[in-house]
Chain A
């Protein structure tokens, strides 16, 4: 290597880094599907929304293909996706709620007003469980298989389109699988 090239190495290294950072600007880190995909659901143990003395844990989700829907009353998009969740619940898929950084009376009132699609709701007042699940913001929906392994994560409000394209076929597939 000629002598002067040696002194250009730091510059080249920086240019490579700058190129990477430039590329990074056009990528959306929030689109990162959860690193939890194909991993067991993180353990949690939270009081239920309607029955604070009872705990909802990851074990309640097992032995069935279920959905975990992260929602909150303060979240407009949750209100927007709510009819879709209601519609999904009518197909018989068990949906569990993770009531995220919310207040209990508000949450109850909200469900009374708009309908309750959930088998049960875990009440995550501080959003600590949300952190373990890698929640960026409500709403988010996880599909969990019979072994309690997360198979899919949907960020943002559920739409009928997303339901028909991704979620319902996946649920069907997982339900047919052994376990």
Chain B
């Protein structure tokens, strides 16, 4: 009964999505307020029914209703409670439902916080989001119904993929989906503005906080995924350039370009066509990611159970949404007025360079991800693109990005006098060069890469400090920082500051862990000692321990430094009761400056095991960087100026065309 209710709620949600997509749009085009006003109630109703459907699926998992095929496949009676809930999004059908629910949530949020928008603009935004929702709901109902029954019911369920039975993976997909789906808001704003022919600074201002929040979720999702891969897969790696990772990284790159480009459009009214195209691109790449993961055209460790019919459905939907939006772009873009001009050296030109580099990076990632498919389709043979391609690309492009990134905040809008800029940059250049050379000296590290990374990070950090000093020049102490944080544009600035600092931290983390990590694969018998760098590892054996729904081979390793015990680690191998695949749980002693990481390999008989020991310096800085970037994004999104009622802009007709605000910071 409950599953049928869920199924029925899903159908009703689809009906309401249709109402939300069709009537407000038509109403906004021929000025029928009654139709325009349908947008909000339809969006709310849709969300309520999606929540009911989602609740029904959760309930089916909680009561172990194995007459529901999806529950029988992915749940079982012994699954711990938290994982029963997360099993809802552990596979294809349920994760689509989560996708749809999150889209519904974003839609409701837009309808609530977007009260200051002109009615017809809001109606168009909600209508576009309704169209996207129709696509996903019909995809679910026609090809991937999570409520499909199983007759006769199974006595016991299958099992949630043990890899997913982990806290990191409980929150990683929802975060990522919040990001993917959140990009649909910027997309809908862009499309609505294109349809209305009003691509102005007001549009950029409305889009900015939404884009920032979505981008923050995407950043958190990617960071969590990387952290999870590190501790759960037992290889000590944190990024694999897997097609599915790339599928999340591409919208992130486009989103990063978009938040910078939106800043220019809001402040200076420039880059309008480019910004709108980026907004379309960011969500299109989210959709492309969905297609890549669920259609089976690429092989990946993440791939869902695939089926060509599903692939065809998503491709048709993808073509409709992306193709349609690009057609509207081609139709409207020529009439978008040019924005304010700017000099060769100005904040605009630096942000443009930033966008260019991000786009080149994106193009390389896209090419690398699709190259196997391209070669195959053209009959050129089969290839696989691996680590070296992506790493080389990344290492070539990122330093250029960082060079511009540091100069950006010190540069004025419109025109910057080169001599003043060079004067501020000179100190930063000298200091970072000195720092880099020092680190690269043989007695310190002897690594050129590490020196280069330190120089880049210092370059960023010092320019950030110079920029903050310039900002606070005429103010005093911490108190002024507090007032500045409450001012219009203040949090945007400090958000940028934190996020850029995060990049500096990330650079150090990535380079140091790549350059200086030490690892050892070794066979150990109980009681045996082995040294790795400054550390002594003592293997004390492995015992068998039961877990809630698995049997654990529970290892014990003590780590000493200078004869002091500094860590007691328990690397584990778990065998889950249903799938019988052994899972590795690494034993990690985390630290700000280094991780010690031990994972169990194979039992070799007589209590002996093969062990993998790692010393990973600065690895935490990778995720710390991601965290700072996310915090910066959140801070920027909370800027008070986005919450101000734009009273004069209640009607599209009165929207001024051109830059608003002449603040000196993005």
Contact = CB atoms under 8 A, between A and B. Distances in A.
Contacts of B319: 18
A14 B326 CA distance: 8
Given A10-B277, A30-B299, A35-B383, A126 B330 contact: no
Given A32-B382, A47-B602, A14 B322 contact: yes
A8 B323 CA distance: 11
B323 A52 contact: no
Interface in A28-65: 29-30, 32-33, 35, 46-47, 52-53
Contact of B374 (A3, A20, A22): A20
A25 B334 CA distance: 35
Contacts of A33: 382
A25 B373 contact: no
A92 B508 CA distance: 56
Task: Give the secondary structure class of B's interface.
Answer: helix
Given A20-B377, A21-B315, A27-B297, A7 B329 contact: yes
A21 to B, nearest CB: 6
Nearest to B235: A128
A20 B291 CA distance: 13
Contacts of B602: 46-47, 123, 125-126
B379 to A, nearest CB: 10
Interface string B294-321: 0111110000000010011001001100
B363 to A, nearest CB: 11
A111 B106 CA distance: 57
B145 interface: no
Given A3-B334, A11-B326, A18-B318, 14 more contacts: A4-B334, A7-B334, A10-B277, A10-B330, A18-B315, A18-B322, A21-B295, A24-B297, A25-B295, A29-B299, A35-B384, A47-B602, A101-B582, A103-B580
A47 B315 contact: no
Max chain B CB contacts within 10 Å: which of A10, A52, A53? Answer: A10
Interface string A54-79: 00000000000000000000100000
B434 interface: no
Contact of B326 (A4, A10, A24, A35): A10
A112 interface: no
Given A14-B284, A25-B297, A101-B581, A47 B605 contact: yes
A15 interface: yes
Contacts of A165: none
Scoring A7, A8, A46 by chain B CB atoms within 10 A of each residue's CB, the highest score goes to A7
B377 A23 contact: yes
B604 A47 contact: yes
B655 interface: no
Contacts, number: 102
Interface residues of B, number: 45
A126 B334 CA distance: 58
A7 B651 CA distance: 29
A94 B492 CA distance: 68
B376 interface: yes
B46 to A, nearest CB: 28
A56 B116 CA distance: 70
Interface string B585-605: 000000000000000011111
A136 interface: yes
A52 B376 contact: no
B370 interface: yes
Given A18-B319, A101-B581, A136 B299 contact: yes
B584 interface: yes
Contacts of A35: 382-384
Contact of A27 (B273, B323, B376, B383): B376
A35 B381 CA distance: 10
B321 to A, nearest CB: 10
B327 interface: yes
Contacts of A14: 284, 322-323, 326
A52 B384 contact: no
A98 to B, nearest CB: 13
Contacts of B333: 7
Contact of A11 (B330, B383, B573, B584): B330
A21 B291 contact: yes
B605 A10 contact: no
A118 to B, nearest CB: 19
B297 A21 contact: yes
A108 to B, nearest CB: 14
B340 interface: no
B372 interface: yes
Given A125-B582, A126-B584, A25 B308 contact: yes
A30 B384 CA distance: 12
Interface in A122-169: 123, 125-127, 136
B327 A25 contact: no
A33 B323 CA distance: 34
Contacts of B308: 25-26
Contacts of A126: 573, 582, 584, 601-602
